[in-house]
Amino acid sequence: MARPFARERQLAISAVRRACALTDSVFNKLVKNETLTKGDKSPVTVGDYAAQALISSMLARAFPDDPIVGEEDSKDLRVEEGRALRERIVELANEAINAPLIDGDDVAWGIGPGQTKKTDEILDAIDRGSHEGGRNGRMWTIDPIDGTKGFLRGEQYAVCVSLIVDAQVQLGIIGCPNLPLDLSKPDSERGCIFLAIKGQGCFQLPLNGPSEALLRMPAFTPATLSFLESVEAAHSSHSTTDTISTLLGITKPPLRMDSQAKYGCLARGDGGLYLRMPTGVGYREKIWDHAPGSLLVEEAGGIVTDSRGERLDFGLGRTLGENFGVVAAGGEVHPAVLKAVQQANSAKAKV
Ligand SMILES: Nc1ncnc2c1ncn2[C@@H]1O[C@H](COP(=O)(O)OS(=O)(=O)O)[C@@H](OP(=O)(O)O)[C@H]1O
Ligand SMILES: [Mg+2]
Ligand SMILES: [Mg+2]
Ligand SMILES: [Mg+2]
């Protein structure tokens, strides 16, 4: 009998591979006016929109009844000022949709030569991501480019997809085109996929190859621990991390990188600890920024909670609700890390 979520797994790998090829080629051709600034001041590029259209249209073909919570929407593309961007996105999405089938692709996903879609179909595919989320039933999340700032710098970013059933993440996948397969060998092959299915483990695959390696987090001590953290100080409080680092006696410098590549690195044993501490501006974390990554870490033997020690709740809607931060670490160090986080937070509250 096939393992649970076998079809979802095959589709997710196929969609992420195609989306990574798309974003990689966009990076090499991106011109200045192909990036917009969204209402929250964050950047979005033609690559974000085209990748969401691609993944969403594959999901819609394979699982037509499943709602999608996607980061992007097509509002800015439907107006006259968005015409040039819109045309470019349609062209890029169609290039990716029409690319020849490779191992693991299935014509039933609606991809392959001769599958060109019209402008409206592409915009509607983007907008399939407008689901409000919630506690019941199946839903997918898509973050077509996570770490868009890293993407624009030519550094780390990730194409991220998850399947959530009744608020529990069942499948998480992230594709990291710029990440070395082995971080200790910066010149090693670049391009990784991290994939986890609940109860089936966490795996790393080369972006363009079939071999897969099971990932288990090693045991860490304060001497071997180092932080993984956001590049942008606006996304996670670096000063809180410094305090926690001192409390834990960590001596190694933090490893800063954009996107959920941090969760993938953590799952394979780079660093040992990922903290995302609220900066106090009332930002609500989005489910697509944490659902795939948190399952990767849990399936590799780690623990992911907020700073109260509670599991992240993916059933509250498009966000994780009030921001209590994220504490992700190896199973044996997580209790000590959580204690240090709570100590640092109560010291901060007294100031
Ligand atoms: N203020 C604030 N606080 C916390 N998080 C925020 C904030 N603003 C944005 N975002 C989200 O951060 C996502 C990128 O996260 P990263 O871990 O890659 O951050 S960083 O770029 O390394 O700083 C980024 O995801 P993308 O938009 O997909 O890049 C945002 O969803
Ligand atoms: Mg964004
Ligand atoms: Mg994101
Ligand atoms: Mg994004």
* Known binding-site residue numbers for Mg(2+): 71, 143, 145-146, 289
260-279 burial by CB neighbour count: b if 16+ within 10 A, else e?
bbbbbbbbbbbbbbbbbbbb
Whole-prediction pTM? 0.96
Q: Residue range 1-29: average pLDDT?
A: 95
* Dist. CA 147 → ligand 1 center (Å): 6
At the second CATH level, the architecture of 226-350 is 3-Layer(aba) Sandwich (3.40)
Assigned CATH for 6-215: 3.30.540.10
Could you tell me the pLDDT band of residue 256, with boundaries at 50, 70 and 90?
very high
Mean pLDDT to the nearest integer, 216-223: 91
Name the pLDDT band for 33 (thresholds 50, 70, 90). Answer: confident
Based on the residue annotation, tell me whether 48 is a catalytic residue of this protein.
Answer: yes
- 266-293 residue pLDDT tens: 999 999 999 999 988 889 999 999 999 9
Helix H or strand E segment including 4: none
Question: E strands, the chain, where?
Answer: 35-37, 43-45, 68-70, 138-146, 158-165, 168-180, 190-197, 201-206, 213-215, 226-229, 255-256, 272-276, 302-305, 326-330
Q: Is the pLDDT of residue 30 over 90?
A: no
Distance 158 CA to ligand 3 centre (A): 8
- Three-state SS sequence of 245-292: HHHHCCCCCCEECCCCHHHHHHHCCCCEEEEECCCCCCCCCEHHHCHH
Q: Tell whether ipTM is more than 0.85.
A: yes
Active-site residue among 24, 45, 48, 243?
A: 48
- In ligand 1, the atom with minimum distance to the C-alpha of 286 is 31
Mean pLDDT in residue range 252-257: 92
Confidence of residue 114 (pLDDT cuts 50, 70, 90): very high
Q: Which ligand 1 atom is at minimum distance from the Cα of 48? A: 28
Percentage of the chain lying above the pLDDT 70 cut: 100
3-state secondary structure of 193: strand
Domain positions in the chain are 6-215, 226-350
- How far apart are the C-alpha atoms of 25 and 30, rounded to whole Å? 8
Cα 183-261-306 angle, rounded to 5 deg = 120
pLDDT at residue 57, as a whole number: 98
Average pLDDT, the chain: 95
Catalytic residue at 240? no
**Exactly one of 23, 45, 148, 305 is catalytic; which is it?**
148
Spacing, Cα 149 to ligand 2 middle (Å): 8
